[in-house]
Amino acid sequence: MDEYISKIRSGDLKLYALEKSLPADDAVSLRRKYIEEETGADLSAVGTYTIPIDRVVTRNIENMIGCVQIPLGVAGPLTVKGEYANGSFWLPLATTEGALVASINRGCSAITKAGGTEVRILRDGMTRAPIFAAKSVAHAAEVARWAEDNLLLLKVAAEETTNHGELIGLTTYTAGTSVFIRFEFDTKDAMGMNMATIASEAAAHLIEEETKAKLIAVSGNMCCDKKPSAINIIEGRGKTVSAGVFLSDELVSMVFKTNSATLAEVNTRKNLTGSARAASFGFNAQAANVVAAMFIACGQDPAHVVEGSNAITTVDLVEGGVYVSVTLPSLQVGTIGGGTSIATQNACLSTLGVAGGAENPGDNAKAFAEIVASGVLAGELSLLGALGAQHLGKAHRELGRGEK
Amino acid sequence: MDEYISKIRSGDLKLYALEKSLPADDAVSLRRKYIEEETGADLSAVGTYTIPIDRVVTRNIENMIGCVQIPLGVAGPLTVKGEYANGSFWLPLATTEGALVASINRGCSAITKAGGTEVRILRDGMTRAPIFAAKSVAHAAEVARWAEDNLLLLKVAAEETTNHGELIGLTTYTAGTSVFIRFEFDTKDAMGMNMATIASEAAAHLIEEETKAKLIAVSGNMCCDKKPSAINIIEGRGKTVSAGVFLSDELVSMVFKTNSATLAEVNTRKNLTGSARAASFGFNAQAANVVAAMFIACGQDPAHVVEGSNAITTVDLVEGGVYVSVTLPSLQVGTIGGGTSIATQNACLSTLGVAGGAENPGDNAKAFAEIVASGVLAGELSLLGALGAQHLGKAHRELGRGEK
Amino acid sequence: MDEYISKIRSGDLKLYALEKSLPADDAVSLRRKYIEEETGADLSAVGTYTIPIDRVVTRNIENMIGCVQIPLGVAGPLTVKGEYANGSFWLPLATTEGALVASINRGCSAITKAGGTEVRILRDGMTRAPIFAAKSVAHAAEVARWAEDNLLLLKVAAEETTNHGELIGLTTYTAGTSVFIRFEFDTKDAMGMNMATIASEAAAHLIEEETKAKLIAVSGNMCCDKKPSAINIIEGRGKTVSAGVFLSDELVSMVFKTNSATLAEVNTRKNLTGSARAASFGFNAQAANVVAAMFIACGQDPAHVVEGSNAITTVDLVEGGVYVSVTLPSLQVGTIGGGTSIATQNACLSTLGVAGGAENPGDNAKAFAEIVASGVLAGELSLLGALGAQHLGKAHRELGRGEK
Amino acid sequence: MDEYISKIRSGDLKLYALEKSLPADDAVSLRRKYIEEETGADLSAVGTYTIPIDRVVTRNIENMIGCVQIPLGVAGPLTVKGEYANGSFWLPLATTEGALVASINRGCSAITKAGGTEVRILRDGMTRAPIFAAKSVAHAAEVARWAEDNLLLLKVAAEETTNHGELIGLTTYTAGTSVFIRFEFDTKDAMGMNMATIASEAAAHLIEEETKAKLIAVSGNMCCDKKPSAINIIEGRGKTVSAGVFLSDELVSMVFKTNSATLAEVNTRKNLTGSARAASFGFNAQAANVVAAMFIACGQDPAHVVEGSNAITTVDLVEGGVYVSVTLPSLQVGTIGGGTSIATQNACLSTLGVAGGAENPGDNAKAFAEIVASGVLAGELSLLGALGAQHLGKAHRELGRGEK
């Protein structure tokens, strides 16, 4: 091993290329050793991973030195009545933030007692928006027009790069001489960013050839990937999902120790007025907590928590109770590709019955989206209730600090 | 074990309370078994964790059933010239998205060749903003005034709840009868949300007593926690950090196979104009990717990627090259508390030399913030270069799909 | 007259109904007299208006007491090379802010020297978005689906209320149980808000009948009328227009006493980076000044300055000079209806050759939009130049304070 | 006259300089004649203005050719119970949009029946934010620090340029190498933009000298002037004002033909949820209509409608009725300077008793701000009521189209 390390130091061996000369586990082990020597840190903990990594080192990561282990908990059972997910689910939640699983669990309990969440997917499409430089605003208008008029040609070019993806539409935007073509794809059970990137690049080259506009970048930030943005909220990206549930006055009182009018007031003052006053794009209590915990558990791209957690929470005062809902305009999920086939993540998806591709392609990703939205609703309900009853601080004291 | 499971089914044993009657590993094992029976999923992969969990089950998670393992890679060495972090670092990156580590690595290489990142922390303070209901706009004005006039009293009340935290200021906002008091704390090496929540609650009760305004919630969404919001961008939350580096024309050409003017044009068209046109709060290429990978590796709260990834990337054309920078207004990090003491996460922090509390409290968290910002700069540089050279699609084809 | 005033005081005569019993000028005069007595103010100045008001009191205002006189200046000649406006124009500008006309004038001069503005209209459509309350998220999905599936029926219902307007599309959005149907109309030469409101109301009633969703309001704030909003920036409202011009290095130097690189740097730092840092929706220097002055001169709705002034200004460094552009995504203008037929406003529209309805309906409004966008470009150029040369303060001292 | 026109054509006489050789009215007349010849338009209507223009041509406008006349109506009486405005007011409203004055009038009636508006000014300060280019992020941090540490020096430099203005604070922001120093001034009864610009320029030059950062522009778009921006909403610009009123259930029913719960539901669904879903910064129904009409009547800068109309409207369900409020974070008004001394505009200010400078400088501008906010509340109430009762379309049909 020391010999290898000498070669790395001397530059004869590339740190990133160890997998070419060694079995994966050995390469990882050697690289970790090297980093330990370089930094003086003890990395044995990250070295005791137990997942198979042969595919991981070619698909999921480079320069691997081991694994981080994230505690996994469950909340549930949660009754979900969607069009793709229908039944009772235990939510896998990977987190290190004490009190979170307990909070979601309380929400699941309330929802299940109330008969479950109604869920609907309102839109579905993964987007990528190349940016082109035109010569003038007139040229920019022509480029946009050409793309709009030649969707079929672009569809052919794009779909030659993929076995499963379909280009389902495009929208054009300009800012002076910059032209953005926002392509939208049906990526079935895959989250689909890579597929969309590759297919968009092919389409972009066709646009470049035909219009003589210069391709600046295959992503022009109107996609809009992993940045908070109004375009994703308004147009959607990935799945746009709503989940709702009616809670009777009795249930609110029993589970949350508060009443319907208070739940509505907390939501209006905090989630709507407070977020408005903060010029926020997020009108919810803790959507990001749930989305992050489920995404990490289930092998989703955690940077997609940025848009995935966009959510509006509403509480309608209705006859005999409240109708509470969340709407997530840009939930980007997949059950194949990315981290979904890693052993532990795949197990989490299996818990929900959505691992891998569905018989009817796309149905697993949709079912997963419905479950995530239902989980977000559970988190909202629970936190709204806790805030209403002013118990947040207390809950954190007990759970977050390890007190009993 | 079956006996226990029967008891869970019958309700005689609470699923969440198993740790009260069993050692932690046994409780987790039993609960996992139960969930396997409930869902029919094989959860053995999540059951083969290797970290010690006695503290984890009391502090980091409830209803634990095992661990998810996230591949961990390194990028570096990255030279950082901050006021708290100074030296050469290997960035720990936990991710399942192929090509990401390689991308950051290329950026680290360019930066290190250029002599390293300059980094500065411009502001520092964790915030929490309780919301109160006043009786009228006149009453709301009085409540806000009272809080502004009684910072010292509030400081005493808040600091009674914490050993280390300090209330360093407050700002008031109103929207009609809703009054928001945004408290700002110095939380030293802790990220500090729990500390800030508990301290704010104490201060909020004092405000309630003195002004007769009604405390609606200890968080009124002007904090603004885990939601994209302008208030965090403008006022800051956690640390506001900038990292920058000068790259000579030669270096740009050598490392990125492009030129300075193109780098500047890509940044202006994509990161500035494109994000403006998308009505985005994020003016960067991939800050969230780097922040997410470092946060998960290092035991940070991954839902904080939402605000942590707020970033503006700039490319100045200067004499002989470009000066490239990122500014992250709301990076919320800690080196104690949360997930930082879990074995694998702690090892990652150790790699950077910032695990635990610093001799001068706060210095470790600041050093970590400087390193994260430098890593974000590496990611920006690399992706800007790749986009400029229009290699993004190709890179994904090779790495993300496991091709060679 | 005193007798009338006594009746007003006693309630026998309604202040707002004077026009029913008196000629318009007398009614206005009497009402002014009454207000003078009520307030003690001398209102003779507002009483010396000279426009005919018979139609004004029935169409443009209620409770009229006279007129406010706004100074009107001109900037020009401005060469415009649009698809609807082609030629040389003198821009009518109503303002009370010293230095504004001079500033725009300087921009016109530069543009005209450079050969004129290229202008293109990229989209066109006036929107109105009624909001409905559904019973559940499932019902909300059905309502949205019904509307999408029944565009033709809705078109018939909407167009029965108007002679000229056409319903050209709709988009649906939901937030929990709230359903927004954003209708888009071609309103020809009219700005078209009233037409769109009335037609949307008819369509909304049909939706209400067919889906049993409850119409909450004919405007649900996703229109989005007279509020800054991303939806108008991204989707457009009214006309989306771009104007651009190439300025050679010589021209930049001659007219603005600065150079191309400085113009580009000022734009990048101020209009792009500065606005990004302020979390602004406006990436321009002074679009609102030009839009407001032209809108007031030409009888447009001045509250539409809010969205009409949404603008991104770009400065591209190109071979031999700069290409400067503005893009206005939501310019809402008309040449018939609203204030456009009032004598002084109509004269201003005549100056531009766009008063009243065009032979090909819609062409006058489009020509006007192209001219306004060109005027905005003039204002941007001028202020960028002035800022670059750091003369802004000086210009204000000389003009704004009446110094010579 | 023809002789002059010949000279203009030949370039011997500058169109903008006619006032140097002719009395103001003659210069204006001659210029108008020239434009008539150039454009073929009949401009007699704009030539029959009646206001004195000697000062107008030196202070308010350049290249003047006459005046536009805007119909002026009144709404009221409106009872206002502010700290600066206290009594009964008739609101002057200049508009060409039928139905607007009637709508506001109905709101005034409801408010006055309810006893009047409570109003409070929560903050006050006009801002200007120069932008500097630093050499590096480290230099940027130093520049920001220097400015924060030298407020007193900057105050002296700034205040040397003004007789009345006071520099009351500054905030610093950076984005990479761009440094923004947001100065805040007390400008008393003036709106104060010019004063703030000139004073900021002086301070900026001192910063430039001391720090060697390069002044890019005296306005760096973080001011943020005449652009929709979160910074003005959060930090305030000009005056931050709230107005509120309690309406009993009986009053709601009597005046608006609806009930309290419906008012609250319309506000939550439309003004809060709808605006959230549109990613809007404006959470109100028609604030811009009222602000624009009052601003034009009273000689304010109409481009300030952009920020002046930022408003959140709230409806609290309370015991026995509703408490309705508006909060305007960035209302920029003045009673001296700008267009306030023009005869007709001054008359409008006189109607409100706030023309000119107050005995206690600043009190008139504050009183005016309180009245505007109260007027906005009247408009909100009226439109919420009308929408609730679904009468908006009908109202427009009757008033906007001149039907009886």
Identity of the residue in D269, D276, D288 whose CB atom sits nearest the CB atom of C216? D269
What is the spatial distance between Cα A19 and Cα B265, in angstroms, rounded to a whole number?
37
Between the CA of residue D294 and those of D89, D96, D308, D333, D374, what are the distances in Å? 13, 12, 11, 10, 11
Q: How far is A283 from chain D (nearest CA, A)?
A: 7
CA atoms within 13 A on the CB side of B28: 27
Query: Quick check: is A4 in a domain?
Result: no
Per-residue pLDDT of chain C (404 residues; tens, 9 = 90+): 789 999 999 999 999 999 999 999 999 999 999 999 999 999 999 999 999 999 999 999 999 999 999 999 999 999 999 999 999 999 999 999 999 999 999 999 999 999 999 999 999 999 999 999 999 999 999 999 999 999 999 999 999 999 989 999 999 999 999 999 999 999 999 999 999 999 999 999 999 999 999 999 999 999 999 999 999 999 999 999 999 999 999 999 998 989 999 999 999 999 999 999 999 999 999 999 999 999 999 999 999 999 999 999 999 999 999 999 999 999 999 999 999 999 999 999 999 999 999 999 999 999 999 999 999 999 999 999 988 777 444 444 555 555 43
Residue D139 to chain B, least CA–CA distance (Å): 10
Contact residues, C window 136-165, toward D, CB-based 8 Å cutoff: none
For residues C265 and C394, membership in a common domain is answered with yes
Per-residue pLDDT reduced to its tens digit, B365-395:
999 999 999 999 999 999 999 887 764 444 4
Residues B296-325 have a mean pLDDT of 97
**pLDDT tens sequence across D32-74:** 999 999 999 999 999 999 999 999 999 999 999 999 999 999 9
Residue B403 domain-assigned (yes or no): no
3-state SS, residue B254: helix
pLDDT per residue as tens digits for the range C133-175: 999 999 999 999 999 999 999 999 999 999 989 999 999 999 9
Is A2 part of a structural domain of the chain? no
Residue B404's pLDDT band (cuts 50, 70, 90) = very low
| Span A87-101, pLDDT tens digits | 999 999 999 999 999
B249-258, C55-64, D173-182, D371-380 — which is least confidently predicted? Answer: B249-258
Question: Which chains sit next to C, with 3 or more Cβ pairs under 8 A?
Answer: A, B, D
- Do C212 and C288 share a domain, yes or no? no
H/E stretch holding B292 = helix B287-297
Instruction: Give the B window 208-247 contacts with C, CB below 8 Å.
Output: 230, 233-234
Q: Does C279 touch chain B (CB under 8 A)?
A: yes
Could you write out the three-class secondary structure of A260-297?
HHHHHHHHHHHHHHHHHHCCECCECCCHHHHHHHHHHH
What residue type is A11 in one-letter code?
A: G
Q: Enter the ipTM.
A: 0.96
Cβ contacts of D85 on chain B, cutoff 8 Å: none
A298 with A92: CB under 8 angstroms?
A: yes
List the catalytic residue out of C301, C307, C363, C380: C301
My answer on whether A264 and A339 are in the same domain is yes
Residue D220 · residue D129 · CB < 8 Å: yes
pLDDT for residue D194? 95
Q: Is the pLDDT of residue A401 over 60?
A: no
Same domain, yes or no: A264 and A367: yes
- In a domain, residue A99? The reply is yes
Q: In angstroms, what CA-CA distances link D397 with B341, C168, D402?
A: 68, 22, 8
**Cβ-defined contact of C234 to B268 (cutoff 8 Å):** no
Task: Give the pLDDT mean for D356-376.
Answer: 98
pLDDT for res C78: 98
Overall average pLDDT of the D172-188 stretch: 98
3-state secondary structure of D169: strand
pLDDT of the residue at B2: 85
Least confident span in A375-379, B114-118, B162-166, D389-393: D389-393
Q: Is C280 on the interface with A (CB under 8 A)?
A: no
Tens of pLDDT, residue by residue over D129-164, are 999 999 999 999 999 999 999 999 999 999 999 998
Contact C230 D345 (CB under 8 A): no
Quick one: three-class SS letters along chain C?
CHHHHHHHHHCCCCHHHHHHHCCHHHHHHHHHHHHHHHHCCCCHHHHCCCCCCCCHHHHCCCCEEEEEEEEEEEEEEEEEECCCCEEEEEEEEECCCCCHHHHHHHHHHHHHHCCCEEEEEEEEEEEECCEEECCCHHHHHHHHHHHHHCHHHHHHHHHCCCCCCEEEEEEEEEECCEEEEEEEEECCCECCHHHHHHHHHHHHHHHHHHHCCEEEECCCCCCCCCCCEHHHHHHCCEEEEEEEEEEEHHHHHHHHCCCHHHHHHHHHHHHHHHHHHCCECCECCCHHHHHHHHHHHCCCCHHHHHHHCCCEEEEEEECCEEEEEEEEEEECCCCECHHHHCHHHHHHHHHCCCCCCCCCCCHHHHHHHHHHHHHHHHHHHHHHHHHHCCCHHHHHHHHHCCCC
Asked whether residue C114 falls in the same domain as residue C249, the answer is: yes
B316 contacts in D (CB within 8 Å)?
133, 176-177
CATH of the domain at A188: 3.30.70.420
Alpha carbon of C178: minimum distance to chain D alpha carbons (Å): 7
Candidates B137, B263, B374: best to mutate against D (most CBs of D within 10 A) is B137
Taking the CA of residue B193 and the nearest CA in chain D, the distance in Å comes to 22
Is residue B10 one of the residues assigned to a domain?
Answer: no
The pLDDT score that the predictor gives to residue B393 is 45
For residue B256, give how far its alpha carbon lies from the nearest alpha carbon of chain D (Å).
21
Across the interface, whether the CB atoms of A230 and C235 are under 8 A apart is answered no
Taking a C-beta distance cutoff of 8 angstroms, is the pair D206, D151 a contact? no
Whether B45 sits inside 8 A of A289 (CB atoms) is no
Which tokens in the block code for residue A135?
A: 């010569």
| C230 located within any domain | no
**Which residue of chain D comes nearest to B377, CA vs CA?**
D176
Residue range B38-92, pLDDT digits in tens: 999 999 999 999 999 999 999 999 999 999 999 999 999 999 999 999 999 999 9
pLDDT attached to residue A395:
47
D204-231 burial code (b ≥16 CB/10 A, e <16): bbbbbeebebebbbbbbbbbbbbbbbbb
H or E segment at B191?
none
Would you state the pLDDT for residue A293?
98
Chains that touch D (3 or more CB pairs under 8 A): A, B, C
Q: Is C178 an interface residue toward A (CB < 8 Å)?
A: yes
**3-state class of B43 per DSSP?**
coil
Locus of tokens 């270096």? B251
Catalytic annotation, residues of D: 97, 301, 396
> In this model, does residue A388 exceed pLDDT 80?
no
Cis, peptide link before residue B67, omega less than 30° from 0:
no
Q: Which residues from chain D sit within 8 angstroms of residue A272, using beta carbons?
A: 268, 272-273, 276
Domain range for C24 is 19-69
Q: What is the pLDDT of residue A1?
A: 73
pLDDT at A400 over 70: no
* Closest CB to A16 among B105, B198, B226: B105
- Quick one: pLDDT at residue B1? 73
Number of domains chain A contains = 3
| Identity of the residue in A279, A283, A312 whose CB atom sits nearest the CB atom of D281 | A279
pTM for the complete prediction?
0.97
| Residue D249 burial (CB count, 10 A) | 14
**Residue A10 maps to a domain:** no
The pair of structure tokens assigned to A334 is 């997949």
Question: B3 CB contacts (<8 Å, ≥6 apart)?
Answer: none
In this complex, the residue of A138, A175, A327 whose CB is nearest that of residue C176 is A327
Burial of D403 (0-12, 13-18, 19+ CB in 10 A): exposed
Mutation site, A122, A272, A314, A316, interface D, largest D CB count within 10 A:
A272
Q: With a CB-CB cutoff of 8 Å, which residues 240-269 of chain A face chain D? A: 261, 268
Task: Identify the H or E element spanning D298.
Answer: none
Question: If you compute the radius of gyration of chain B from its CA atoms, what whole number of angstroms results?
Answer: 24
Nearest to A374 by CA among A323, A311, A304, A326: A326
Rounded to whole angstroms, the Cα distance separating B50 from C348 reads 79
Cα torsion angle, A35, A40, A41, A42, sign? positive
Binary contact (C316, A177; C-beta < 8 A)? yes
The one catalytic residue among B19, B124, B301, B370: B301
**Which token pair is A367?**
């079912």
Query: CB D304: neighbour CB atoms within 10 A?
Result: 29
Residue C246: CA count within 13 A, CB half-sphere: 10
What Å distances lie between residue B330 and A8, B235, B311, CA to CA? 38, 9, 9
Question: In this complex, which of A176, A234, A316 lies closest to C242 when CB atoms are compared?
Answer: A176
CB atoms within 10 A of CB C182: 25
Are residues A246 and A303 both part of a single domain? yes
Is the same domain home to C193 and C95?
no
| Chain B: partners with 3+ C-beta pairs within 8 Å | A, C, D
Q: Residues D98, D174: one domain?
A: no
Measure the N-to-C terminal CA separation of chain A; round to a whole number of Å: 47
Is pLDDT above 60 for A86?
Answer: yes
pLDDT value, residue C391: 47
Assess whether C98 and C244 both reside in one domain. Answer: yes
Domain shared by B284 and B317, yes or no: yes
Suggest the residue from D262, D268, D327 to mutate for an interface test with chain A (most A CBs closer than 10 A).
D268
In angstroms, the CA D221 to CA D230 distance is 12
| Half-sphere exposure at residue A318, Cβ-oriented, CA atoms within 13 angstroms | 16
Mark whether D111 and D254 lie in a shared domain. Answer: yes
Residues of A with catalytic function: 97, 301, 396
- In chain C, how long is the greatest CA-to-CA distance? 76
Same domain, D284 and D366: yes
Q: Which of A272-276, A368-372, C168-172, D400-404 is least confident?
A: D400-404
* Of C234, C277, C278, Cβ closest to residue B279: C234
**Which among D124, D137, D246, D271 is the top mutation candidate for probing chain B, defined by the most B β-carbons within 10 Å of its own β-carbon?**
D137
- Residue D89 domain-assigned (yes or no): yes
CB pairs under 8 A between A and B: 496
Given C217, C247, C281, which residue is the final one in a domain? Answer: C217
pLDDT confidence of residue D247:
97
Q: What is the CATH number of the domain that holds A319?
A: 3.90.770.10
pLDDT digits (tens, 9 = 90+) for D112-127: 999 999 999 999 999 9
Taking CA D251 as the corner, what is the angle to CA D250 and CA D253, rounded to the nearest 5 degrees?
65
CA distances from A197 to A185, B394, B398 (A): 10, 10, 13
